[in-house]
Every structure is written in structure tokens, then in C-alpha cells.
Chain A
Amino acid sequence: MDWPGRSAAGQGFCSCHVCGLVSRLEQDDLAARCPRCNTRLHFRRPDSLHRCWAFLIAAYILYIPANLMIMMETGTLVSYRKDTILSGVIHLWHNGNPGIAVIVFVASILVPLFKLVVLTLLLVSVRRGSTWGIKHRILLYRIVELVGRWSMLDIFVVTLLAALVQIQSFATVRAGTGAIAFGAVVVLTMFAAMEFDPRLMWDPLRKEREL
């Protein structure tokens, strides 16, 4: 594939990530600030990859208890259930609304898994200086940023149900420890996606051309 022109960073131009103003910058000027809004300027997010890895690894570790531990306990006069995320979805599929079950499945199971896998893929490909499928990888990053927040769905459902369903001996709902781990996974993967600087993906192209 042919990429005409030189990159802005290669010519010493740097855009402010708050107000978008483009300024000329010395290559290793770490104290530079945007003349319009006074935000610190840098060509690439400092320590982007290290920080992203740190959040991502923490998210991987918590992903296990988030899926294995109890998310919600439901007790009524006739029944008592302990549900993990997955068993909650299955229960909803059989005893409620399959459409809603699909929504919860996507938000609570597919989206977190997708984020972990895609961010790992992006980090590894940037590390290896890969130029393969760059347009698809950019698209994947955009999707990760866009859909990440929807995983919070289950946290809100647990909050509402645990507060609302408190009718003495008739019916009670309690949040389980799985909810803590799950909330942490959502927050950590959001931080990881924010730390990742997608511009790093384009840098190998520049080096390739300069050779």
C-alpha cells in the first residue's frame, strides 16, 4: 500500500489533545505547552504502552473472580438463587425475556472479553512494529472505545435490584462479591483503552518509508 506524504510528527507538528490546535514542537521538548489552552503537549502519550499493559493485566486477573464469583443472590418465599453473570443470563433466557438476555450477554460477557482480547492484540502488534491490517486495527480500537461503557449495565441492574427488592421475608436481593470484581474489570479496561495511544500504530509505517 502506498502512503503519500510525511507524517505531521515527522515534521515537528504536534496537535493538542484538548483543543486540537496544531503547534510546532522541538523533538524532545517535554515541558512544551499548548499556546491556546496551556495543556502539556507531546507527540505520543508518554508511557502509553506500559500503562496500558498495567491496567490490562490487572483487568485480566480480576476477570476470573468477576466471572466465577456470585454476582447476585435472590431469595423469595419459594426459591433461593445464587447467580454468576453467566448463570444470570441463562436464567433470564429461560425465565424472562430472551431479547433482554441477549443484551445482557453482549454487555456483560462479550464486550469485556472483546476489550481484553483486542487491547492485547493492539499492544502486541505495536510492540512488534507490525504494519499488518492497520486500518482494521484502528477500527477495532474505535469499537473498543465506543462499547466499553456498556459493560456497566450489570452494575446498575445489581444496584437497583438490591436496593428495591427488600420486602422483609417475602423477597430479598443482595449484591455478591463478583459485582466488585466485575465493576473493577470495567473501570480498568476503560483506563487501559484511554492510555493506549492509537497513533503509535502508524509509526512503523514512517520507519518503513525512511529505510
Chain B
Amino acid sequence: MYRNLPDSINRSLALTVAASILYLIANSFPILGINLQGNGNAVTLLQAVHDLWSQDMPLVSSLTFVTAILVPALELCLMLYLLLPLYRGHLLPGTSQVMRLLQTIKPWGMVEVFMLGILVSLVKLVQDFNIIPGVALWSFGGLTLLLAALASSFNPRDVWTHLDLKQRREGL
């Protein structure tokens, strides 16, 4: 059982905007770089997915693409679609479909698991290579925290309450 938190819409909107910015940074810069006797390599997440695809691993590559890139992006877009108008007190059409879609894709967004994956990779690499931590490493860390905060501040009941009010108004 829980009550409606004060300010949940404002807070969720702020967290969504911040998370979207970090998401863009996290996906534009290299996560890790390695160096071995002057030879090096660094990859962004999208490059990693693309490289794995060209190594004849389309299924594993798609799985990473969907869970670490696509679903988090879709989640943030849908949250903005809900929260931006809600901040001004109204709702856009298709709100209930958006809520349903959010609920369906939620288990498949795995930024926090990916973050742990980066750390495990780091430990595996550290014996053999010089590691150059990339900007995206920190951004993914921040993104993980923001998404966790967003999950606890966003209250779906706010949306449903507004939808109830809207339907009642239109019914009159």
C-alpha cells in the first residue's frame, strides 16, 4: 500500500529530462578504451553492438541492442510524452496505450545490468591491458542511478487519476 507522493510529477519530469541527457552522452562516447604496447581500441555501445553483428552473432547483438539501447530510449520518450503535458495539467491522446506499452517493455530495459556488465568487463581486462575509462562509463553509472530514482518517484496512479478526471469532464 502507498500514498501519492507530493511533487511526484515535477520530480519525475526533472529526472526524465536529466536521464535523457545522460542517455545521449552515454551512447555518443566510448565506454572503455584498451591499450597494449601502443595498439589500442575503444568502442561506444552502438559500435560494440555493430561489431558483434559483423562477427556473425546477430542474435546476441540484437539482444544487447534491444535491452541496453532501444528499450531505455523508448521508455524515456514515452515518459516525456506523458509527463511534459501532465506538468501543465493535461494529457495527450493515447495515454492509456502509452501506459500499457511502458508496462510491457519495462522488464526488458536493463541499464543497471549493463552497468554491472561494464564493471565485470573492466575486471577481466585490467590484467592484460591498460584501461582508459571513457566518458560513457561515468554516464552509464549516472544513468543507472537516475533511472532507479525515476522508478521510485513516478507513480502511475497520478496518470490514472488525471485520466479519470479527464474522462469525467468529457462525460459531462
Residues of A within 8 A of B (CB): 18-21, 36-39, 76, 92, 95-97, 100, 103-104, 107, 148-150, 152-168, 170-171, 174-175, 179-180, 183-184, 187, 190, 194
Contacts and interface: CB of A to CB of B under 8 A. Distances in A.
Contacts of A37: 96, 99-100, 160, 163
Given A92-B123, A164-B34, A175-B57, 15 more contacts: A19-B156, A20-B156, A36-B160, A37-B100, A152-B63, A156-B110, A156-B118, A157-B124, A159-B64, A162-B52, A164-B42, A167-B34, A175-B52, A175-B60, A180-B59
A167 B41 contact: yes
Contacts of B48: 159-160, 162-164
Contacts of A179: 57, 60
B39 A170 contact: yes
Interface in B41-91: 41-43, 47-49, 51-52, 55, 57, 59-61, 63-64, 67-68
Contacts of A153: 113, 116-117, 120
Contact of B121 (A76, A95, A160): A160
A158 B129 CA distance: 17
Given A162-B55, A164-B41, A187-B63, A95 B125 contact: no
Contact of A161 (B110, B125, B127, B163): B125
A153 B116 CA distance: 7
A38 B98 CA distance: 12
Contact of B118 (A92, A160, A187): A160
Contact of A156 (B37, B114, B156, B164): B114
Contacts of A21: 160
Nearest to A164: B43
B123 A175 contact: no
Contacts of A96: 123-124, 127
B167 interface: yes
The A interface, classified by DSSP as helix, strand, loop or mixed, is: helix
B133 interface: no
B99 A18 contact: yes
A161 B121 contact: yes
B113 to A, nearest CB: 5
A204 to B, nearest CB: 26
Contacts of B157: 20
B54 to A, nearest CB: 10
B113 A150 contact: yes
Nearest 9 interchain pairs by C-beta: A156-B117, A163-B48, A37-B96, A163-B51, A160-B121, A159-B64, A100-B123, A167-B39, A183-B63
A107 to B, nearest CB: 8
